[in-house]
Each structure stands twice: as C-alpha cells, then as structure tokens.
Chains A and B, each alone.
Chain A
Amino acid sequence: MKLKRFLLRYYPPGIILEYEQGGNLKTKSIDLLDLKVETDVDAVVDEIARKEPLITASKTEQVRKLVQRLQEKLAQKDDHHFYLFKVLRAHILPLTNVAFNKSGSSFITGSYDRTCKVWDTASGEELHTLEGHRNVVYAIAFNNPYGDKIATGSFDKTCKLWSSETGKCYHTFRGHSAEIVCLSFNPQSSVVATGSMDTTAKLWDVQTGQELVSLSGHSAEIISLSFNSTGTQLITGSFDHTVSVWDINSGKRIHSLIGHKAEISSAQFNWDCSLIATGSMDKTCKIWDPPSGRCIGTLRGHDDEVLDVAFDYTGQMLLTASADGTARCYNAVSHNLISKFEGHEGEISKITFNPQGTSVLTASSDKTARLWDPENGRCKQILEGHTDEIFSCAFNYEGNTIITGSKDNTCRIWR
C-alpha cells in the first residue's frame, strides 16, 4: 500500500486518502465528524496516525495542515443573506422535485409537463430539456459526486438515464407496473435504485441498462429510498407503515423496521450509517439501529403528520417537518430537542440543512421557504415570491445558493 495523495472534504469534514494497492488506485476516507473549531489539532493528528497505517511519521505535518484547513472552514461565519436572483418560468405545468449537481454549477427540475430541464446556475439559462417521458416526471437525481448523468423517474412507470452534458437518453428502464416516485444512484454511480407505487424497488445497471434485481416484500407503495454511504445497503420506506433494509449484493431483506402506526413519509441514513431516521403519518419520527433493526427512539411532539426528515451532513442532528406547520431539530444521538421552528402558515413538506449545518431550509404550502437557525430556532429569513405552494427546495454544496420549485410552474434561484 502506497499513499499517493490527500483530498480534502469540507462537508462533512474528512480527509480522503488516495493510495495504490496491487497496482490499483483506491481511496479511503477518514471521517472527522466530531471536529469543532476548538478541537485540539494535535490530539486529532495523533489519533489519525495511530489508527491509519498509511499515515506515517513523515506525513503527519501534512495531515495537521489539512485538519487546520477544515477548522478554518468550520470557523467561517454564516451570515449569508439570500436575495431572489432569478425567476425561471421553467415549465408549463407545476414542478415536482429539484436537485443540484455536486459543484452546484447546474441543477435539474422535474415537472407535470413530462419533462426534466437542466439549468445553468450562474446564468439561469436552460441547458437541456430532457423529453421522452409520457407522464409526470416526479423523481430526479444527479449521479453525484460525478454529475455526468441524470436519472428521471416518471408516472409513466419508467425511469430514464440521461447524459447531463448532452441531454442524450442512454437507457429507459422498463419493468415497474406503476408510477415511479423515488430513485437514487448508489455512491459509486454504477446502480440506480427506483421505488414504485407497485410496492417494489428495483436496481438497474447504469452501464448496460439491465434490471439487476427486484426487491419485493412491501405490501404497499414505496415512497422513499436511500443508499448507505458505501452502497452496500438500501432502505425503502413504504405506505405499509414499515421500512425495509436490503442487502444490495444478495437482494435479500436484512431487516423490517416495524413500529410506526401509519404510512412512512421519509427514510434516511445518517452519514456514517450508524442511524436510520424515519418520518411517519403517525406524527412521530423514529430512530433505528441499523445492525439490529431495533427502534432506539421515538420523537414525539408534532400535532400532525411528519412529512419529511433530514440529518445534517455529519449525521449528528436530525430535522423533522410536519403538516402542523412546524419543524424541529433534535440531537440525533441523545434525542433531545434542540430547537423548534415556528412561523409557517401551512404544512412544511420539505426540510434540509445546508452542508455546513448552520442553516435549516423549509418549504411550505404557505408559498414561502424559510431559513432558520438550528441552535435557537430563530427565523433568519423568509424567501417570498412564489404564487403557489412550494414543493421542493435544495441548497448547493457551498451553501450559498438555494433553488425552490413550486406549483406555480416556476423555479426560483436565491443567492
């Protein structure tokens, strides 16, 4: 094993080691999820050197510099004030979901008008219209971090794979017998997972376009899915009130997470896959232990359905958004409530952290998106202008640009 170079990852803080083994170039990451501005750098470097054989004595000085860089990044003040940069009269019918590529240089919007559009973030210009679906384009994703491909899942029961550079369609994945409502690339970008109203999830080979495996076992619609960060497992959330954990290699179900008393709305892994969080129409959010499949906490407090849940990039904080018009931030480990976000005049359907973990973004049926301080629950800013409810919102990786997609057929860029 020979260390070739270091790569720095800001969010969540980490150092990626690129090394050679048996003639192959490989990478591994050292996650520094607990790193704070005040953390003792020497202690961190010692710890890394002790645990990681690739970090020999001659390399520790380099590692120290990298850790310091990460701390500098963490120390940056988040006082960004967003203004409306552009209104994109994007589609002739309501938008569904929106997503950025990793660098944030472009983003995509899905719509009831059966298209997905690719946009240049800096200019607000339309780069491509991905046409071919015969019904609503609902679920969309870039194959981040690469960003050279886009997957679109449609109510026409198919999923299409596109080149984000040329807009050309590589493959149409056929096999589902009902609407596709969620999808994701695995972290290696070799597989696309699709979840459908037909109660199954399917895995597709990005290269060949073939169906690899069909994951069946749910007794109702699958509406949320997510890979773990190594791509070995997939979780699916269903209207049958359960969440399944699947082994990707065998296609077998490892666990059924049973406990919610109503439909699941969202299911997510945290960064290091030490936790799974699930939101449900039963007004609660549950936290699960992935190895055992046991429920280790139930977060109560919302007066109505929990519509979305989200971890921060380090996986230490957890957000819940509810039809009661409020959202909450919890410590993901202690399950203690950190803050409440109150002020929206309609249900909150989407919630997300900025990659830095210093701001929370919510999208609501009250036609506004709002930014909140997770530490104290203070509303930092109200993003006003949409003329109908907001269905989706996203931060770019830098955390200095926001896109919102609305039922009013427009997409807005805020920066």
Chain B
Amino acid sequence: MGLLDLIRKLKSSQDKELRILLLGLDNAGKTTLLKKLASEDVSHITPTQGFNIKSVVSSGFKLNVWDIGGQRKIRPYWRNYFENTDVLIYVIDSADQKRFEETGLELSELLEEPKLQGVPLLIYANKQDLLQAAQASEIARGLSLDTIRDRKWHIQACSAQSGEGIKEGIDWMSTVVGKKK
C-alpha cells in the first residue's frame, strides 16, 4: 500500500473504478465484510484503529473499498475520507438492538454531509446468522429509510461471516453506478 498508493486512491475515480466508503459503528462487521469481499480469511479480526483498503474487481468494476474504524473516539474523523466517494456502504449489526438508536443517529448525520450529497447508500443488515438478528425490513422501518428522497438506497440482509447476501448488495451497487456513469 504505502502513502503514495493512498494518494492515488484519493484521486477522483476513473471510469470503471469506484471509491467506496464502508462505515458503521464499531463491531458492526465492516472489516469482516471487506475481507470476505477480497476472499480473505475472516477468523482473526481485531478492532480497526485506522482504516483498511482493498481493491476488488466485481461486475467489471474495480472497487477501491475503504473500511474506516467505527469506534466512538475516531468517528469524528470519518470526514477525512468523504471526498470523491461513489457509494456509501453502511453496516449495521442486526443483532445488537441496544445500539439501533446510536447507529441511526450516525447514519442520519452522514446523510446530511454536503460531501456525501446524492451518494448512493447501501445498508448491510449484517449478522443475519445470529438468532437474535432483526430482519432487514424491521431495521429499514426503524431507520425510516423510506423518508430518504435525495439518493438511491437499498438495504440488504447479509452475513459477512458466511458471505451470504454480500454479492446481492454489490450487484445492486453495480447497477446503480452503472447507470450513473
């Protein structure tokens, strides 16, 4: 990777290259999702203190995915990464009902960011493999997603651990940006 690569990935994306921002609360499963996308082992994942970046080719696009740490003290720095974002992926731990309000607040703040204005939003209702997981439709209602009018959005149930549902989300993303380009 190196600093130079970070700069290159900062550039406004070229054709067929997408800059994707992966956000969500700590322990939502962002890094697991990223690693699963890159077909890497997901058995040992520790809290992300900074960020992880991976480039994945999918549906003819090169996805440069930025996974940003979600702990409270580093959330104010999410803004560092907003520039030139093509798609925002927001990951929710569907089994952690106690934090639905917190995750909803963070998401609504993101949707008000001028730099993310109009950026398509993909929400992964993650951890569907857990028994206590809320359904995607329930989460959508809880977050009042149907009131979002200024961008395309989609909620996708998934399990980053097993990989189930991830591809469907990426497919939605490809069709959305495919039309945009």
Contact = CB atoms under 8 A, between A and B. Distances in A.
B3 A365 contact: no
Interface centre among B3, B69, B79, B83 (most CB of A within 10 A): B3
Contact of B2 (A138, A197, A221, A307): A307
B11 interface: yes
Contact of A223 (B4, B74, B79): B4
Interface residues of B, number: 18
A140 B83 CA distance: 22
Interface string B39-77: 000000000011100000000000000000100011001
A135 B1 CA distance: 20
Nearest to A93: B50
Contacts of B79: 135
A93 to B, nearest CB: 5
The 6 closest A-B pairs by CB, nearest first: A349-B2, A94-B50, A93-B50, A391-B3, A135-B80, A136-B80
B4 A92 contact: no
Taking residues whose C-beta sits less than 8 angstroms from the other chain, chain A's interface range is 20 to 34
7 contacts: A92-B49, A93-B69, A94-B49, A114-B77, A347-B1, A349-B4, A389-B1
Nearest to B49: A409
B145 interface: no
Nearest to A97: B3
A307 B69 CA distance: 27
Contacts of B51: 94, 112
Contacts of B80: 112, 114, 135-136, 155
Interface of A: 92-94, 96-97, 112-114, 135-136, 138, 155, 179, 181, 197, 221, 223, 239, 263, 265, 307, 323, 347, 349-350, 365, 388-389, 391-392, 407-409
A50 to B, nearest CB: 47
B11 A365 contact: no
Given A93-B50, A392-B3, 15 more contacts: A94-B50, A155-B80, A155-B83, A179-B10, A197-B7, A221-B7, A265-B4, A307-B2, A307-B4, A347-B1, A349-B2, A365-B1, A388-B50, A391-B2, A391-B3
Given A136-B80, A221-B11, A112 B2 contact: no
Given A112-B77, A409-B49, A96 B10 contact: no
Given A135-B79, A135-B80, A179-B10, A96 B1 contact: no
Contact of B3 (A92, A323, A349): A349
A93 B2 contact: no
Contacts of B50: 93-94, 112, 388, 407, 409
B40 to A, nearest CB: 15
Contacts of A239: 8, 11
A134 to B, nearest CB: 8
A265 B7 CA distance: 11
Contacts of A263: 8
A389 B11 contact: no
A345 to B, nearest CB: 14
A151 to B, nearest CB: 17
Nearest to A221: B11
Given A112-B50, A179-B10, A93 B74 contact: yes
A323 B1 CA distance: 9
Interface in B1-21: 1-4, 7-8, 10-11
Given A113-B77, A135-B80, A197-B10, A408 B4 contact: no
